[in-house]
Homo-oligomer: A and B are copies of this chain.
Amino acid sequence: MSTGIVLHHLVDSRSQRVLWLLASPLSGEELQIPYTLKIYQRTPTKQAPPELAQVHPLGKSPVITDGDLVVAESGAIVEYLLQKYGNGRFQPPSEGLVKNIYYTHYAEGTLQNLLSNWRIYGMIGERAPWPLTYLSRIIMSKAQHAVLLPTIEASTAMVEKDLEESKTIWFAGGSEPTSADFMMLLPLEILPRAMGERIPKKIKEWVDAAHRRPAYQRALKAGGEYAYAKLLPEASEQ
């Protein structure tokens, strides 16, 4: 098998945050980790293409190969890359250790799933065949608001408070983003999907700070389509 890291990157997906990490100095001029970007387009129904199933049995992205090793699941990839190649970079200060562990898991374990479900419920509502369409839209909209929204709103308030209490813009209070920040990128970018304009100030500033990182800009240029980056225009135009 080939040597070096390959990021199997699906456009418009969770993979963008791994690309942000890989586009950081961690993988560039300073540490010289060779990595190859392999871009996968979505199918006409917006699914991951079948070729991804040849890389990992679940057929999802992100997934990286590192020689013979295959690593999937965003949180595992971020932890793997930082542990193996981080060389001390992107580590939280000791007072931010717990916040870092928490948000590294919370991003996919809770928030991203709430937001993915928000979209899936909407799709179930829309896609039921006529004559069920109207009823299914009502049922699924009620489910979005009764099942998902209270937890999303509690989450937003919690994240806002933790960012307010952080000594820096980043979750763990260090001078650089840590695994918590890399993981929280996508859910905080797509939060308006459920919350509309009601995104609190610190979260907007965090998204803006991520968007202004040169590595994020490089990742955005490299990764192909990524609609989520445009979701918070008020912040990114500041």
Residue numbers of A with Cβ under 8 A of B are 57-59, 69, 71-76, 79-80, 83, 98, 101-102, 104-106, 108-110, 113, 117, 120, 124, 128, 132, 135-136, 138-140, 143, 147, 151, 154-155, 157-158, 161
The quantity of this chain's copies bound in the complex is 2
Flag if A102 contacts B155 (CB, 8 Å): no
* Chain A contact residues, majority secondary structure: helix
CB-defined contacts of A102 to chain B, threshold 8 Å: 71-73, 76
From B79, B104, B117, B161, give the contact of A117 (CB < 8 A): B117
13 A-B interface contacts by CB (under 8 A): A57-B161, A71-B101, A72-B106, A73-B102, A73-B109, A73-B110, A76-B106, A80-B101, A108-B109, A109-B113, A124-B139, A132-B135, A132-B138
| Further 12 A-B residue pairs, CB within 8 A, beyond A71-B98, A124-B147, A128-B139 | A71-B102, A73-B109, A74-B105, A75-B109, A76-B104, A79-B105, A108-B108, A124-B139, A124-B140, A135-B135, A136-B139, A139-B139
CB-defined contacts of A158 to chain B, threshold 8 Å: 57-58
Chain B nearest CB, measured from A5 CB (Å): 13
